[in-house]
Chains A and B, each alone.
Chain A
């Protein structure tokens, strides 16, 4: 108890300094949690687009981005006819811009695609999709920011399209997208005869390995991946995740420097006290334990505050209408644990030098210290 009190006493003695350190860790944790959660949510949403009523995705091998992938229509038709395949849906991704929105994602789809079938049609008739080349269906968010209504015409890129429906999905990306008939999209994006990916639904999931091997054998330029494999291996996702962790890591590094500063000051201001403890038999380990204990407390309080701030911030973002569907506030327990552990490690690392300094304090010299 006294050992704990020695730790807590010093934090209480310098309340403002302790508060600033805790705040440093808290904001670092909150930043890391927010950035990683938002990006993981974004990745989840993008994966959701691909895995809608399918379990395998086929795309061009070795492309850095699915927007650059070209899967020939002949391959789509062939694969759709394989006995193990329930249905093969080609999807063409394209990006266009409008006056106020530099990036609008377009989806070129067949009328039977799950994205069209499963969405909630707020306006318009699903059966009319893909009957005319200049027809488009807008996601509810896209309709808002394009100020488009049913039967109106919208300028998308270099062409005007007729809005025949407005739909809502559970996915922020899709809600902010434009859905075109596949043929129109191929023509619009100058990708005649190809799509970006094929999403595959198998009759039996157990056939996934056979299917992947078949694609590999017959179409060496294409690759088939199960959804989970794709999420793990897609380079864009990897870059996003690495960026998120790097940004969060920088935040924690700054927090760690704050803790280091606090702990150094803490040791400097109680050199005499440490000397007294030494004279009374405290070992190096006990002295270091006290310093590490202090930084661990700062880190724990900081991490807890950071998780609270981060969660509140994410919920706050979710309430912003413009971000509706883009923010997934479900913080993974594993992520939370990692962030808290990282915060603790940061605290411990920040206390390393101060602890070594404290261990080297010579009682006889320190007792002369006023």
Chain B
């Protein structure tokens, strides 16, 4: 089986996985089995597949949160290396949104959003300007001083989206971003997500179970048994 999936749109390849293998529990569970995968700049891609098929693992590898056992993962042509490029990658090139919002409960919405700017040493004025821009877009500007506990599920996930985009990354890795939300909120948040990534020119790879949401992306990629299949959309 040919696992190589070529990009639909002509453009610069920003994410590339070449013959990537990944296993857990000392090799007893192999999650990725020689994945070859490319993503072009500006695309929105939905990774679909059953639980345990390797969607999240692939996202973690692209984000430098984990290392492949074999094969290479590169972002913008540079191999993701945990020791050399990871900080730059996480600070400036990639944003993460998770199924659980992963916000810090004792901080306010504003403070949570500003965390990436603190990490990257971005000056306060620039950070505030970007914060206003994103919270205006996501309808959160009136909730800036609210603690996370006081926000609804949808607001929390929108906050997580703002945080992920604070440092203007060119790539957004979203792992079930609406998985913890009810249907209506999920749809709203997803609309917002698509709108913002389109406006900002962000490349998005989203792992999801929700095929209704998945088909609205530029590409839908199926994962089964540690391998990639495309196309699978109707």
Contacts and interface: CB of A to CB of B under 8 A. Distances in A.
Contacts of B111: 2, 5
Interface in B157-206: 163, 167
A277 interface: yes
Nearest to B114: A2
A281 B96 contact: no
A280 B90 contact: yes
Nearest to B103: A276
Given A2-B111, A2-B118, A3-B118, A364 B167 contact: no
B120 interface: yes
A5 B119 CA distance: 14
Interface in B55-93: 60, 63, 65-66, 87, 90-91
A282 B167 CA distance: 13
Contacts of A283: 87, 119
A362 B65 CA distance: 8
Contact of B104 (A273, A281, A363, A367): A273
Contact of B119 (A12, A277, A367): A277
B interface, size bucket: 20 to 34
A interface, size bucket: 20 to 34
Interface string B107-140: 1000100111011100000000000000000000
Contacts of A286: 119
A363 B102 CA distance: 12
B106 interface: yes
Nearest to A370: B100
B135 to A, nearest CB: 16
A9 interface: yes
A279 interface: yes
A367 B99 CA distance: 11
Contact of B167 (A3, A279, A281, A362): A281
A364 B66 contact: yes
B188 to A, nearest CB: 24
Interface of A: 2-3, 5-6, 9, 12-13, 272-273, 276-283, 286, 362-364, 367
23 contacts: A2-B107, A2-B111, A5-B107, A13-B106, A276-B102, A276-B104, A276-B115, A278-B90, A279-B65, A279-B90, A279-B96, A280-B115, A280-B116, A280-B119, A280-B163, A281-B116, A281-B119, A283-B87, A283-B119, A286-B119, A363-B65, A364-B60, A367-B102
Interface of B: 60, 63, 65-66, 87, 90-91, 96, 98, 102-104, 106-107, 111, 114-116, 118-120, 163, 167
